[in-house]
Structure 1
């Protein structure tokens, strides 16, 4: 490294100052490379110098220096030690410092206008001149200063002017350049400047000072040309109206730019490149903004483009903000029309999927389900504002298409269309948001009123609870009593007609008969239906029978009751409770029958020893039945009261906030024994209730149809999320059984059902014994007694099995850690 530095310094000192630094540095590296080669020879040095000589400009003199340099460097090729080479190079440098070449000294006459009293800034030392060139010992600029100490020894006969003339005589004049600039700025080839694809070729005979400013100026031409190509490309493509509006705006800006360039071409006052640059500086910035957006254009939808412009409106750079604001206003007009169309007609036709409201599903019956796409909400709207807009259009469809309130919907649409047309010029303004808020409150309040008065929302909800959730047990008990004989037979023998007839009779004999012949023309009770599940061949009636409540439109939008292709929460809950009611029915039936059998056995005093033994065993079995019945009743009450009823009361409280606030504060109510609210007194009819409903908006906590549906779904979800009903196998696994709690409960219910079957056999055998004892001769009494003993053993075994399963459930509940389940565990034991 030290040899290389010394060699570079020697060459810079030895060669004339006219030699380019880059050539000298390259030559020094080549010499050093030859010296480091094991096959170095003098012929290689001669070829290197000849090559070096070919790179020297023709106008340079002192070529006799090169043979001298060759003779000075030749001894190095006979040396093998680097230190020896270094010493030799240093000696040459010192020798040259003592006897400098007088031909390199500047002539005093050529620098006469300048101060002749120049002193050497510092001697030619081995120190670098700045931190930027630590690898060099001296700047080339210092050589003239060092040589100036010998200024008078020999004049330099080569003036600086003569060195510049060969370069400058072929340079293009600025005025010639000015003639071609307008063509280039419009993206076309000129006499001086060729355009190849996305490049402008600047000739090499243009001075660097002019070339630098031309780079800045010609950026506008490249941007103009590229933007024009992109606009032509997208005009031929099928794009949305919003994107078309943007392309039109870009084209308009390009036309403005074109006019500016034409004015510059005819303006004689602008005669320099700098003047051109100043004149088009703002246009360059505008074209940059347009181009940066166009680079993203193809991957953006109209709404995304609008959001991007909204962000650029707050960029901080005034030029960018002004451009973005102008473009934003242009595109916002179209987006405003999208919003207005949805708000007044509930339609998203011709929105080109650029609105945050999309079609989620379109059913075969023509029903269209819309959804709110939160990812497409523009940045100038909040989520709540976007949601209000979504709900307004959906509510309008609900009122017009499903509630058939055509008069109101037409008046509502026309009134708000006039409002939004008047606000169109202001775009998404504060007035627009206030109008949306007012419209939202009005239509939501109207829907709340119409579904309660015209479609009996509350009564339907209570009926669902009383029937499908078995809030009124007397209907289910009456129904089971009438259907018990039919339900034990094969499902193939059951007919829909007979089931419907028995259901109607059961309703008439239960507390739900109040729903018959009301002012609603049996609107609610006619929705109740009995049907059979399709479980395949061989199923009995108990397994396939279920009740269904048909909820038609429009209530089906806010009450999810076994929707087609939807979740079947009510069906799941009913079928589970049906198992409980089935067992409860047989508990009562077999218990009653046992009492009758025991009572009849006491009529045979002559068989008192035998009767005493039989009645003793039957009584013990009756105790087992009672024990399981007590457990079963506790479990049944827990599901009805603590799982279902508590959550239904929560639902009522939520709905009372929606519907009752501000409307029933002055109405006196009373609660009956079933926990239902009833008006205390007589209410006078109000024929204007529909019109007055939307006047008292106030500060009510309004719930729209989306929220009503969600509230009801959450009610069902909270029921099924209870640990004793949740079917999520990943949660609520019993510590002892390692099974979900509902699975354990189902196993227990099935075991109890088997116990009841065996208990029924016990009663049948007991009855046969009674019949044998009633006869004068009873030859089969011994066979029946043996069957009785065998059945009692099986019954006791099944009871033990049930108790073991109950114990497992109680242990699981106690180990769960939930306070409520721990109390239930103690209660069930």
Structure 2
């Protein structure tokens, strides 16, 4: 509000009644000029008041009014800011109106001011207040009331009773308030330049700022604020687009988004030029209506470009996809257009990966990421999968590209893999549109089935996956113990030597001989050219100085690519699960070998002593002690047999059977899904037999006649892919090592009686059993020396030997008692576990 406008009602209310109405406006202008002058003084104010006093007759009431009016102006001069003066005048005028009342008709002809009727003279506080009543902005409600009071004040001066005044229009009365206002026509003449971010004299334009002149009404100013939003957004978007055009590192998807935004800006410019050229706009309201849709579109694109640098292209694609069904038609149209534009580039990422396994130039906008591209260390990022791609389809896409790399790099199946890729590349290229997404996904599924089927067939027949899996079980997990028995017999001499003197080449040669003499000899000279057997190797562990060959010897199996990708036997940094299992089973085999060896030695000694006729009481005592020790050895050996049998039957073999069931492609090549299973039952001793009479099944016969040499495609949807092959093999080994009896990790089972993990208790018992057999070996050695002395009829060292014999005998009995006590504690631990299988083992050990 202008100061002169705000001052006029106050001067009109306080000026003497004798002052002509025509001079009130002049007096108000003079007061306003003085207040706006920085050099205003009391003398200058008094001079203006004296000049207007001469225009009105003197009266005591008039003198008091001139005095009060002078004090009001001086009070306003003390307020520095013009805005605060206007607020003060508004407050003062409100207080004047609150002390006013409607005049009676008898006063109408004399133009009596309401300020006197309300006793204005008694309110000197209105003339020189210490501070304005309120320096806060008036609300619209107060402004409306203030307008009513001004009208009331004007009517109280007699205007309302003047018929001539009633004939004047409202526009004529308000015209003096709009004399300095800018007309709407003048604004419309130049606003088209402003809308195109060109500065004009009326609307000064800077970056992110437009100056609206003071001479504009509030309603028009509000419209301009809404209209000029388009200009400011246009400025920002144009600046960002020009900046990103020179950025060569942005992805094609983000370049497409820039093109889309630039297209929207060009459309906006075209609309503005069209409105200006054909004079289609007659008012600001119409202009705002014409630009409304474009303002919404510009606002939407501005929000997109706000986070342009830190947002990837696939995030824009997913966001636009989620808004394609938005309730606003404009947003839906924009997002659909953006989605179609970005989708074409995303299809390039998909097709390059599906047909060539390429991840280059994806600009981190793809849901498949390579940590080590050369070694197939590729992972799927679930958070980056677009909303329009189902998770199951994303998994298949991931496997297809990874399998292509697996076939071409490791399996050397370049010809067949390229044939599959070319075949599906043509199909994918023909389905690169939004409307054909469903067909695209169906093609992905078919592609997945075909490439998985071919990969499994390659692993099975070219790289002997199934044979290698069984060899790993038969050798490293001792599924066929005859190889280990033969190897121990051949390597007995060097296994007892210090580890520093062992030769790996010699152990390897002995291993080759053991293979030729064991049941594994049926794998030699086959169609695989000994590929499966040649992976077997003998190793020596580095356990430090002083270790014997028994402690450092181990078997290993070298799995080369491509099988090493799906069988983690020798993977760098792997867990070496096979080595851990073999080392445990090796303890059983080592103890069992010494059990049998000392049993033979002891039997030979007993036969030798029985042949002697002399010294019968001594020989009888020796034979009795040796026989009793043999009974103790048998009980210790039975303990080892029971635990070894449990480990293989209930842990290893059980886990392997579950693992084998998941290798569906191994059975599909020789069995049809329509083949009916046989009904069998399990006896108490664990043997399996047919349940009832085996009758012929015609369906079985028909199914067999329909079997083709190739794998049934309908079944291949369940075939495991390379990641699943790796996963189920890991699961198979983890199931073994995570068993309560073998687990030594964080989830190890603690015995309720001993307070020790089951695995630790088992190792401790095996070590004690080996100590027992070591003492038994020493006892047999001493008994053999006693036999020699008795046979030579020599008494020279006999007493010493008999003393040693009794000493070793006491040690072996003590070791046996300690072993049995710990074995009973171990059995109680297993019994209290609550597991049925462990409970059965506990009963057999008790």
> TM-score per shorter chain, which class?
0.7 to 0.9
What does residue 754 of structure 2 align with? 737
Does residue 370 in structure 1 map to residue 387 in structure 2?
Answer: no
Q: Secondary structure at the match of 1:429?
A: helix
Q: Secondary structure at the match of 1:606?
A: coil
What does residue 466 of structure 1 align with? 474
Q: Within 1, Cα distance between the matches of 2:235 and 2:796?
A: 117
Contact residue 579 and residue 749 of structure 1 kept, 8 A = yes
Which residue of 188, 194, 198 maps to 1:188?
198
What does residue 381 of structure 1 align with? 389
Task: Encode CA deviations 1:365-397: one digit per residue, 9 max, x unaligned.
Answer: x43421111121111111110110111111112
Alignment of 1:73-152 (within 5 A): 97=101, 141=148
Q: Secondary structure at the match of 2:742?
A: coil
What does residue 347 of structure 1 align with? 358
What does residue 745 of structure 2 align with? 728
Q: Within 2, Cα distance between the matches of 1:94 and 1:709?
A: 91
TM-superposed CA distance for 1:15, in Å, is 10
What does residue 796 of structure 2 align with? 779
What does residue 197 of structure 1 align with? 207
What does residue 552 of structure 2 align with? 544
What does residue 533 of structure 2 align with? 525
What does residue 748 of structure 1 align with? 765
Task: Encode CA deviations 1:83-106: one digit per residue, 9 max, x unaligned.
Answer: xxxxxxxxx999965978998999
TM-superposed CA distance for 1:465, in Å, is 0.7
CA 723–155 in structure 1, closer or farther in 2 if over 3 Å, else same: same
TM-superposed CA distance for 1:604, in Å, is 1.6
Alignment of 1:388-427 (within 5 A): 388-426=396-434
TM-superposed CA distance for 1:785, in Å, is 0.5
Q: Secondary structure at the match of 2:663?
A: helix
- Unaligned 5+ runs, structure 2: 1-8, 16-41, 50-55, 57-61, 73-95, 112-138, 681-685, 689-705
Contact residue 755 and residue 799 of structure 1 kept, 8 A = yes
Q: Within 1, Cα distance between the matches of 2:437 and 2:531?
A: 46
Q: Within 1, Cα distance between the matches of 2:828 and 2:66?
A: 107
What does residue 37 of structure 2 align with? none
Contact residue 669 and residue 711 of structure 2 kept, 8 A = no
Contact residue 664 and residue 718 of structure 2 kept, 8 A = no
Q: Within 1, Cα distance between the matches of 2:639 and 2:110?
A: 121
TM-superposed CA distance for 1:698, in Å, is 5.1
What does residue 592 of structure 2 align with? 584
TM-superposed CA distance for 1:217, in Å, is 0.8
CA 811–711 in structure 1, closer or farther in 2 if over 3 Å, else same: same
Contact residue 523 and residue 532 of structure 2 kept, 8 A = yes
Contact residue 449 and residue 693 of structure 1 kept, 8 A = no
Task: Encode CA deviations 1:503-559: one digit per residue, 9 max, x unaligned.
Answer: 011111111110111121111111111111122222211111111111111111222
What does residue 283 of structure 1 align with? 294
Does residue 209 in structure 1 map to residue 227 in structure 2?
Answer: no
Contact residue 562 and residue 570 of structure 1 kept, 8 A = no
TM-superposed CA distance for 1:820, in Å, is 2.5
Name whichever of 734-743 and 514-523 sits farther off: 734-743
Q: Within 1, Cα distance between the matches of 2:488 and 2:106?
A: 131
CA 605–298 in structure 1, closer or farther in 2 if over 3 Å, else same: same
What does residue 224 of structure 1 align with? 234
Does residue 616 in structure 1 map to residue 639 in structure 2?
Answer: no
Contact residue 17 and residue 143 of structure 1 kept, 8 A = no
Task: Encode CA deviations 1:43-96: one digit per residue, 9 max, x unaligned.
Answer: xxxx9xx9xx99xxxxxx999658569999xxxxxxxxxxxxxxxxxxx99996
TM-superposed CA distance for 1:165, in Å, is 3.5
Q: Secondary structure at the match of 2:614?
A: helix
CA 787–152 in structure 1, closer or farther in 2 if over 3 Å, else same: closer
Alignment of 1:697-716 (within 5 A): 697=714, 700-716=717-733
Name whichever of 168-177 and 697-706 sits farther off: 697-706
Q: Within 1, Cα distance between the matches of 2:445 and 2:315?
A: 25
What does residue 299 of structure 1 align with? 310
Q: Within 2, Cα distance between the matches of 1:68 and 1:217?
A: 47
CA 380–662 in structure 1, closer or farther in 2 if over 3 Å, else same: farther
TM-superposed CA distance for 1:776, in Å, is 3.0
Contact residue 14 and residue 65 of structure 2 kept, 8 A = no
Q: Secondary structure at the match of 2:743?
A: coil
Contact residue 450 and residue 690 of structure 1 kept, 8 A = no
TM-superposed CA distance for 1:314, in Å, is 2.2
Contact residue 727 and residue 742 of structure 1 kept, 8 A = yes
Name the TM-score, length of structure 2 as normaliser.
0.78
Task: Encode CA deviations 1:417-463: one digit per residue, 9 max, x unaligned.
Answer: 11112222457611111111111111111112221111111111111
What does residue 441 of structure 2 align with? 433
- How many correspondences in the alignment? 726
Q: Give RMSD over aligned pairs.
A: 3.9
TM-superposed CA distance for 1:142, in Å, is 7.0
Q: Secondary structure at the match of 2:537?
A: strand
What does residue 818 of structure 2 align with? 801
CA 15–632 in structure 1, closer or farther in 2 if over 3 Å, else same: farther
Task: Encode CA deviations 1:473-526: one digit per residue, 9 max, x unaligned.
Answer: 111111111112211111121112211111011111111110111121111111
Q: Within 2, Cα distance between the matches of 1:95 and 1:336?
A: 79
CA 93–428 in structure 1, closer or farther in 2 if over 3 Å, else same: closer
What does residue 76 of structure 2 align with? none
TM-superposed CA distance for 1:322, in Å, is 0.8
Which residue of 259, 267, 275 maps to 2:270?
259
TM-superposed CA distance for 1:725, in Å, is 1.2
What does residue 454 of structure 1 align with? 462
TM-superposed CA distance for 1:805, in Å, is 2.0
TM-superposed CA distance for 1:163, in Å, is 6.2
Q: Within 1, Cα distance between the matches of 2:270 and 2:708?
A: 61
Contact residue 590 and residue 759 of structure 1 kept, 8 A = yes
Q: Secondary structure at the match of 1:379?
A: coil
Alignment of 1:507-656 (within 5 A): 507-656=515-664
CA 15–812 in structure 1, closer or farther in 2 if over 3 Å, else same: farther
Which residue of 160, 163, 170 maps to 2:180?
170
CA 527–17 in structure 1, closer or farther in 2 if over 3 Å, else same: farther
Name whichever of 480-489 and 92-101 sits farther off: 92-101
What does residue 356 of structure 1 align with? 367
CA 270–142 in structure 1, closer or farther in 2 if over 3 Å, else same: closer
Contact residue 475 and residue 512 of structure 1 kept, 8 A = yes
Q: Within 2, Cα distance between the matches of 1:184 and 1:813?
A: 88
Name whichever of 627-636 and 261-270 sits farther off: 261-270
Task: Encode CA deviations 1:547-586: one digit per residue, 9 max, x unaligned.
Answer: 1111111111222213222221111111111111111111
Contact residue 354 and residue 400 of structure 2 kept, 8 A = yes
